[in-house]
Amino acid sequence: MKNILVINTGSSSFKFQLIQMPAEKVLASGLVERIGQQNSEIHFTSEGYSGKQEQDVPNHSVALKAVTNLLMDPEKGVIKNASDITAIGHRVVHGGTTFSETTVINDEVKQEIKSLFSLAPLHNPPNLTGIEVAEEVFPNAKQVAVFDTAFHSSIPAKAYKYAIPNKLTEENDIRLYGFHGTSHKYVSEQAIEKLGKSDSKIISVHLGNGCSITAVENGKSVDHSMGFTPLSGLIMGTRSGDIDPSVIFHLVDKLGYSLKEVNEILTKKSGMLGLTGFSDLRDIETEAQKGNRECKLALEMNAYRIKKYIGSYVAAMNGLDLLVFTAGIGENSSTMRNLICENMDFLGIELDPSKNDIRSKENRIISSESSKVKVMVIPTNEELEIARQVDKLV
């Protein structure tokens, strides 16, 4: 038996699971959310405890140390000391062209992850922090990186290339990479199992603070909304998603912003935060229900962008068998799912309102009996997928 600690550091959250492999038994799990905000919360569940505590969590380093203390707590915890951990699987967002598979971490790997900071500024830095803190706390455990970009290595050139001089693609690796790959891989495999056939056409919609959508044909990623970095595509918590590149030149040349300021605006001050003043969709939905026009419009814009991607991927695959919603918003927001799927009957997508309103942690169909395309909510389990890959490697 191996105890594998899986660390998944998002842009504003820190998820973890301690999984006993190969039995796939979860010994402990939890979430640190709203990192860097005043109302941070630590959720922790083990066999003998389930609860949450409010704590000041200014950064990801503090988050990991707090989780480690809980894991080794005499009453709440599940391990006695650090040596009980066999390996640690780290979700790393950007692997560039260097990494297309799960990799044991050494100094060279860490340096490569660091070199990609500029391409994933919200993610690779906390990913590397998680690795470095884990090395300190668990010095005897094998550290392993699982890259978000790996699942998208199957995307064909017609989809991953940009219409820029070939030299920039060939010599500077400027291309679409794709992200949230571990999540899209997990839920698409669950969807294929539900369909009972491998020759399938699936669209996986991952909606959280970061959002992305993937076209999955016969189990392989064939197109994806994020590109060179996790900035493009759908509207996100603080990221703009797709935008005319000329806006950047206008901000710099005409309005006097520096490139650093523009990068800050597009990655940390745009998206739902820029539109509403809130980055958390729960707050935005609450305000929209109160009649806040900006919040109502932002929800409509968010859904409209997703609709356009769904339509384009149906065209690209010449069909669709199953539409999947996953991640925090995709799994829990019936409002967003309804906004996305309404008026999509031409494409054979029709929700059952009563099924859509059900809250559950189980895989479930939420489409109507007459819907030609099945619509499902499949809770993602990136941690289990990472543990499986780490287990194979170590």
Quote the Cα angle for 42-65-117, to 5°. 95
Q: Is 207 annotated as a binding residue?
A: yes
Q: Is 114 annotated as a binding residue?
A: no
Q: Is 39 annotated as a binding residue?
A: no
| DSSP states of 101-165 | S-EE--HHHHHHHHHTGGGSTTTHHHHHHHHHHHHHH-TTSEEEEEETTGGGGG--HHHH--SS-
Tokens of 316: 């690209």
Q: Is 273 annotated as a binding residue?
A: no
Nearest residue to 210 (alpha-carbon basis) of 62, 380, 375, 363: 380
Q: Is 384 annotated as a binding residue?
A: no
Nearest residue to 307 (alpha-carbon basis) of 372, 225, 232: 225
Q: Is 281 annotated as a binding residue?
A: yes
223 among known catalytic residues: no
Q: Is 210 annotated as a binding residue?
A: yes
Identify residue 254 by its one-letter amino acid code: K
Q: Which of 73, 107, 148, 357 is catalytic?
A: 148
Q: Is 283 annotated as a binding residue?
A: no
Q: Is 91 annotated as a binding residue?
A: yes
Q: Is 209 annotated as a binding residue?
A: yes
Which SS3 state, helix, strand or coil, does residue 89 take? Answer: strand
CA atoms within 13 A on the CB side of 221: 32
Q: Is 195 annotated as a binding residue?
A: no
Quick one: CA dihedral 223, 226, 232, 238, positive or negative? positive
Binding residues for Mg(2+): 8, 382
Binding residues for ATP: 15, 206-210, 280-282, 328-332
Binding residues: 8, 15, 91, 206-210, 280-282, 328-332, 382
Q: Which residues are part of the catalytic machinery?
A: 148
Binding residues for substrate: 91
